[in-house]
Amino acid sequence: MANVIVIGAQWGDEGKGKITDLLSKSADIVVRYQGGVNAGHTVVVQDQTFKLHLIPSGILYEDTECIIGSGTVIDPQVLIEELDQLAALNISTENLMISQMAHVTMPYHRLIDQASEQKRGKRKIGTTGRGIGPTYADKSERTGVRIIDLVNANNLHEQLEWTINYKNVILEKLYDIPPLDPHEVIQEYMGYAERLRPHVVDSSLKIYEGIKKKRNILFEGAQGTLLDLDHGTYPYVTSSNPVAGGACIGAGIGPTMIDRVIGVAKAYTTRVGEGPFPTELDGDLGEQLCDRGSEFGTTTGRRRRCGWFDAVIGRYAVRINGMDCLAITKLDVLDTLAEIKVCVAYNIDGVHCEEFPSSSLRFARCEPIYETLPGWRQSTAQCRSLEDLPKAALDYLKFLAELMEVPIAIVSLGASRDQTIIVEDPIHGPKRALLDANGAPVNHQPHDSPHSPFAN
């Protein structure tokens, strides 16, 4: 039995959907713990591509229970569209459960998100425009609507009428947007409530019962470490906590129940939206990565900004998440390059810096210091074991693992399930060694880590 968190180690879109789907084969329950329909997780199974926004990527396995947890924000319209799309593909969603404590994205949240971005002008965040920030803001302000309110029709009418009238003042006076008709919105949302009611549960209790029965539980993060509200590149972040710690709060369980944390990172870096990105590549190389990696947002279709792998943020992600091992995705995208750069440190105002600077002003001034490695210039898409990989590709992976001081458990070489090398089973295999052969504690100090990247 293991309870495992899968998190994004960069700025999102690392391939969490593919890795979660892969690991779901041995999971009994998969839980999404934060974020909303800003997420876009792609899972490719044979010739079918599934794009999931809210429903956990475990849904493709018939016997796996899926839970949209308390820390998420739910746009019911999009969720119902997602349910319909899966039904049209003959995927059962009977095993989907929705936390009664999750918050509901309302039409005014979407309007305020989009209008406030416009008002910010060049200070915009580059949000997905899905109302995520305003939904979480209302949750903190304690004016939010929860799933329990939605499915409890008695409360809904009274609560929404007050809230919509309150929001109408903001829409009209601040953003010059025509007011919403409370009765129309209430009617629309009562329809959604009917549809979602059979799925609504006390999800924290369901998860706890699963833990007591020693079921394998996977916690699927959305977004990535650098988009974390507290630990990311603020203010260019999302409004929730994608980091591993967020799984406990978002799922409603204690930290003692987590067995391990798997970080997912691309073999290079991408970012969507605004904000600093030290290793960003302008010009031909950036275009090449974008084209080969099909780097267009799953949710908004926006072109993703592309750059070299940044081991400084990688090490930071290892620290912030307490990462046990890594899944490196999209190695195949680098197949054609003659040489590959990796950012090993930053130059900030002439000072050499190996740690992620917590000041956003300093982060914006980081200049990457690169080490250059030879490329392998041959296809890796058909490799199914480490021995199949060209030596230069293996050396590249070892270099990343050494820099990040964490072993690599999975290497992904294409979007489909079989284009994967499982180096070490991250659920059932040994956890990262915390004791050495003599039983003495291993001190994972930065920069003194001679351990093999592929074994614990």
The least CB distance from residue 5 to ligand GDP, in Å, is 14
Looking at residue 386, the DSSP 8-state letter turns out to be G
Binding at 279: pick from ligand IMO, ligand GDP, Mg ion, none (beta carbon under 5-8 Å per type): none
Q: 377-383: which pairs have CB atoms within 8 A and are 24 or more residues apart?
A: 377/335, 377/336, 377/337, 377/338, 378/335, 379/332, 379/335, 380/331, 380/332, 380/335, 380/413, 381/332, 381/335, 381/413, 381/414, 381/419, 382/413, 383/413, 383/421
Q: Show contacts with Mg ion in window 382-421 (CB under 5 A).
A: none
Among 135, 269, 298, 419, binds Mg ion (CB under 5 A): 298
> Is residue 333 near ligand GDP by the rule CB under 6 A?
yes
Between residues 137 and 344, which has the closer beta carbon with respect to ligand IMO? 137
273 binds, among Mg ion, ligand IMO, ligand GDP, none (CB under 5 to 8 A by kind): ligand IMO
346: left (phi over 0), alpha (psi -120 to 50) or beta: beta
The residues in 279-298 that bind ligand GDP, with binding defined as CB under 6 A, are 293, 298
Look up residue 291 and give its two tokens.
Answer: 């084209």
Q: CB of residue 354 vs ligand IMO: minimum separation in angstroms?
A: 26
DSSP-assigned beta bridge partners for residue 84: none
Taking residues 251 to 290 in sequence order and writing x for each that binds Mg ion by CB under 5 A, - otherwise, the string is: ----------------------------------------
* d(C-alpha 334, C-alpha 170), whole Å: 48
Residue 232 contacts which entry, ligand IMO, ligand GDP, Mg ion, none (Cβ below 5-8 A, type-dependent): none
Cβ(258)–Cβ(283) under 8 Å? no
Residue closer to Mg ion by CB (options 43, 147) is 43
128, interface contact from ligand GDP, ligand IMO, Mg ion, none, CB < 5-8 Å by kind: ligand IMO
Q: How far apart are the first and last CA of the chain?
A: 19
Catalytic residue list contains 352: no
Radius of gyration from C-alpha coordinates of the chain = 22
Of 296, 223, 180, which is closest to residue 73 (Cα–Cα)?
Answer: 223
Positive or negative, the CA dihedral 447, 449, 452, 454 is negative
Smallest gap from Cβ 298 to Mg ion, in A, equals 5
Element (H, E) at 8: strand 3-8
Give the interface segment with ligand GDP, choosing from 133-141, 164-172, 408-416, 428-436 (CB under 6 A).
408-416
**Residues recorded for the chain:** 456
Catalytic residue among 28, 41, 199, 231, which? 41
Active-site pick, 13, 149, 310, 332: 13
What totals of helices (H) and strands (E) does the chain contain, helices first? 13, 20
Binding positions for Mg ion, 28-47, rule CB under 5 A: 40
415 binds, among ligand GDP, ligand IMO, Mg ion, none (CB under 5 to 8 A by kind): ligand GDP
If one asks whether residue 18 binds ligand GDP (CB under 6 A), the answer comes out as yes
Q: In angstroms, what CA-CA distances link 138 with 35, 73, 92, 166?
A: 14, 11, 33, 12
Helices 182-196 + 153-175 axis angle, to 10 = 130
> Which one among 113, 138, 228, 332 touches ligand GDP, defined by CB under 6 A?
332
The yes-or-no answer on residue 332 being catalytic is: no
Residue 48 or 452: the one with the smaller Cβ distance to Mg ion is 48
Compare residues 109 and 451 and give the one whose CB is closer to ligand IMO: 109
Which residue ranges make up the site for ligand GDP (CB under 6 A)? 8, 12-18, 40-42, 44, 293, 298, 329-330, 332-333, 412-415
The residues annotated as belonging to the active site are: 13, 41
Which residue ranges make up the site for Mg ion (CB under 5 A)? 13, 40, 298
